[in-house]
Amino acid sequence: MSTATKTGVQRQIAMVLDLNKCLNCQTCTVSCKKLWNQDAGTDYAYWNNVETRPGTGYPKQWSELGGRDAQGKASRGTVPDLDTQYGRAWNFNHELVLLKPKGDRNKPKAWLRPQGGNGEGSRPTWGANWDEDQGTGTYPGDNHYFYLPRLCNHCTHPACLDACPRSAIHKRKEDGIVLVDQDRCHGYRFCAEACPYKKIYYDTQRQVATKCIFCFPRIEEGEAPACARQCPGRLRFVGYADDRDGPIWKLVEKWKVALPLHPEYGLAPNVFYVPPMSPPKLDAQGRPTDQPRIEPAYLESLFGKRVHQALATIEAERAKKKQGKPSELMDLLIAFDWNKSFAIPAQSSKQPSGQQATKK
């Protein structure tokens, strides 16, 4: 019996992201923001964000803000703080940076300033991607980082849905997309507390919850979500989890190289990641060792124990490809034929099914 059948949805749409190919260009972030999420009350909120790992993430240290513990039990969560964990939006002081004499530019008066701030004494101290490209380790021996794009996982067992006393969150039967009915939402934010991925945002002006909608109007038309379609790295795959000819089933079930983020939370995410490989650490003489730069234990803390076998499979298939032998897995991951990255038949019925109503 498929996961979709067990949970009452007819089919489950899903996404796989190959972390070996992410450029941190943020095209996904911007395409989502421009398309869906430009309300003034959510200017701090990125339904899709890309964070540098190891790093603090967005919101800051989100995996420590509760919702689910390491055994998958519900735990008291917190709503991330706008100032200290998200960071408010800021403006660039273009006049100072571009037009003033060079000496003025270095004065501590802020070429970044919080929106509404005057620039003097009000410099932002935190925001999305504040620690971008910092990573960890020491050059040249073991310094490293990689990029982790994140969006709502459209979980098979959504904690946000379970936590809502207004039944304002539902999982669509036809594709498993998790949506907020903003006409029912009273802005209690129990969903934001409960989601351990911290992928529910609160619209401070309309006073309702908002989140990634998996671009459902595009899915209904057979189009890939904007964040996937616009990705220049061609690292995102979208399709139905039970489609044996599609990329999701092949990467998740057949090759077992695509893994959920924090599987220990027990929500059964439907966004999966191909874990990043890394070059070797160098020894004191600058010679390559047999240790990968990205600590296996760190990857295990993100993707669970299966990450080691997944990396071994990718390594073996890559070696085959290097020898000129065929590899279905490598051809898929390289995305030679980009059309094969998306397998989304248009939905025949486009009747409204409690879609994310917007309270404007």
The site for ligand SF4 (CB under 6 A) is made up of 22-28, 32, 36, 47-48, 50, 147, 149, 151-155, 158-160, 178, 195, 197, 199-200, 211-215, 225-227, 231-233, 235, 267
- 59 vs 149 by CB, closer to ligand SF4: 149
Question: Residue 94 Cβ, how far from ligand SF4 at the closest point, in Å?
Answer: 24
Question: Residue 36 Cβ, how far from ligand SF4 at the closest point, in Å?
Answer: 5
- 225 vs 276 by CB, closer to ligand SF4: 225
Question: Residue 95 Cβ, how far from ligand SF4 at the closest point, in Å?
Answer: 30
- 162 vs 300 by CB, closer to ligand SF4: 162
Question: Residue 209 Cβ, how far from ligand SF4 at the closest point, in Å?
Answer: 9
User: How many other CB atoms are found less than 10 A from the CB of residue 252?
Assistant: 20
User: How many other CB atoms are found less than 10 A from the CB of residue 61?
Assistant: 13
- 233 vs 275 by CB, closer to ligand SF4: 233
- The owner of tokens 């989140």 is 211
Question: Residue 6 Cβ, how far from ligand SF4 at the closest point, in Å?
Answer: 17
Q: What is the DSSP string of 119-143?
A: SSS------TTTTTTT-BS-TTTT-
- 45 vs 231 by CB, closer to ligand SF4: 231
- 215 vs 251 by CB, closer to ligand SF4: 215
Question: Residue 39 Cβ, how far from ligand SF4 at the closest point, in Å?
Answer: 14
In a 10 Å sphere around its CB, with 0-12 CB exposed, 13-18 middle and 19+ buried, how is residue 168 labelled?
A: buried
Identify whether the C-beta of residue 143 lies closer than 8 Å to the C-beta of residue 135. yes
Integer angstrom CA distances of residue 166 from 76, 171, 183, 211: 19, 14, 10, 17
- 27 vs 122 by CB, closer to ligand SF4: 27
Query: Quick check: helix, strand or coil at residue 238?
Result: strand
Question: Residue 279 Cβ, how far from ligand SF4 at the closest point, in Å?
Answer: 20
Tell me the H-state helices in 69-163: 94, 102-105, 159-163
Comparing CA positions, the residue from 264, 255, 190 lying closest to residue 16 is: 255
- The owner of tokens 């032998």 is 325
Give the CA radius of gyration of the chain. 21
